[in-house]
Amino acid sequence: MIQSIPFLKKTWTVAQVVKINDSIDKIRHIWLRTHKPLKFKPGQNISLFLPISENDPERYRTYSIANTPNKEGLLEVCISYVEGGKASDYLFNKIEVGSELKIRGPQGKFTLPKKINNDLVFICMGSAVAPARSMIQYIFEQDIPRKKVHLIFGARSRNGLLCADEFTSLAIQHGEFKYSFTFSRETNALSATKRKYVHDIYQDEYKNPRKDVTFYVSGRPSMIEETVENLMQLGYSSKQIKYDMNN
Ligand SMILES: Cc1cc2nc3c(=O)[nH]c(=O)nc-3n(C[C@H](O)[C@H](O)[C@H](O)COP(=O)(O)OP(=O)(O)OC[C@H]3O[C@@H](n4cnc5c(N)ncnc54)[C@H](O)[C@@H]3O)c2cc1C
């Protein structure tokens, strides 16, 4: 069954929750299926229209699509639980397999170039790895001609390493894929490396600016602002930096 709900002149479609997996540290993966498969580009996002407010404009939230385009028409989103968050409460406590959600999209320009001429460096934290995961998986699944691909992922602790097995196995299979991660709140062995934050990694490994690298940054506004500022201070141009703000 498919329905369209006019709101803000956009079309909303009904999607069914087909699978839920609570993977790690307050992160929930939800798989949705629409009646007619939604075509999307890796890196794009969808909006969910949720019964969390009396006021229509306050009822929608945006989530990046975390998987790659697939024949089954499945859309995977990774939701970080925000304490006191209305959508968080709804998506963690009120839905189950079989629930229906109204969705809109896909939308967003945080996507791969038509032709990959540069090294790609993805810098992200927490569930904001979702669009990076979609793009990285797509590159290797489709064997897209590419240069080097580097994922720099930040979590508070080992428990927050989202999709770690998947990225580790990709790095083992493909020499041109590098997976780096940091823990901001872990001590012991890792503190010895002095690389606690994502910033420590790219400021070290990309300290000599080059024209053949493009950065994809996704996360909370403060993390994006800091990263963009740091990269520009290192000498990279704004054209080399794409970002997706999760606010
Ligand atoms: C392009 C885009 C892509 C996004 N992709 C994702 C995604 O893939 N996964 C995902 O989990 N979220 C994503 N978001 C964020 C998501 O849309 C919601 O904002 C988030 O789920 C919080 O909604 P909420 O209703 O639970 O919290 P709200 O009820 O909106 O907020 C509750 C309180 O928490 C604060 N708050 C909101 N978000 C956060 C946060 N992340 N950390 C700390 N405090 C916060 C608010 O300022 C407010 O004070 C994305 C946002 C955008 C714009």
pLDDT > 70? residue 5: no
Are 125 and 199 in a shared domain? Answer: yes
Q: Contact at 8 Å (CB) between 153 and 129? A: yes
Number of domains comprising the chain: 2
pLDDT > 70? residue 193: no
Beta bridge partners of 175: none
Arithmetic mean of pLDDT, 206-213: 97
Residue appearing with tokens 């069954």: 1
CA–centroid distance, 194 to ligand 1, in Å, is 30
Q: Which of 46, 59, 82 to mutate to test the pocket of ligand 1 (most atoms within 8 A of CB)?
A: 82
Q: Contact at 8 Å (CB) between 28 and 15? A: no
Q: What is the β-pairing status of strands 119-125 and 213-219?
A: parallel
Q: What's the pLDDT score for residue 118?
A: 98
Q: What's the pLDDT score for residue 156?
A: 86
Pick from 216, 206, 204: nearest CA to 240: 216
The tens digit of pLDDT for each residue in 17-45 reads: 999 999 787 899 999 999 899 999 999 99
Helix ranges (DSSP H) in 52-161? 86-93, 130-141
CA–centroid distance, 86 to ligand 1, in Å, is 9
Pick from 130, 208, 136: nearest CA to 167: 136
pLDDT > 50? residue 215: yes
Task: Give the C-alpha separation, 229 to 243, whole Å.
Answer: 12
| Token pair listed for 114 | 């038509």
pLDDT category at 8 given cuts 50, 70, 90 is low
* Boundary (domain end) residue, out of 85, 107, 129: 107
Are 86 and 190 in a shared domain? Answer: no
Arithmetic mean of pLDDT, 174-191: 82
183's CB contacts (< 8 A; 6+ apart) are 154, 155, 156, 157, 158, 160, 190, 196
Answer yes or no: is 114 within a domain: no
Answer yes or no: is 180 within a domain: yes
Ligand 1 atom, smallest distance to 61 CA: 17
Answer yes or no: is 112 within a domain: no
* Boundary (domain end) residue, out of 60, 81, 107: 107
Q: CB under 6 Å to ligand 1: residues?
A: 45, 61-64, 77-80, 82, 84-88, 127, 130, 220, 244-247
Whole-number mean pLDDT of the chain?
Answer: 92
CA–centroid distance, 82 to ligand 1, in Å, is 7
Domain that holds residue 98: 4-107
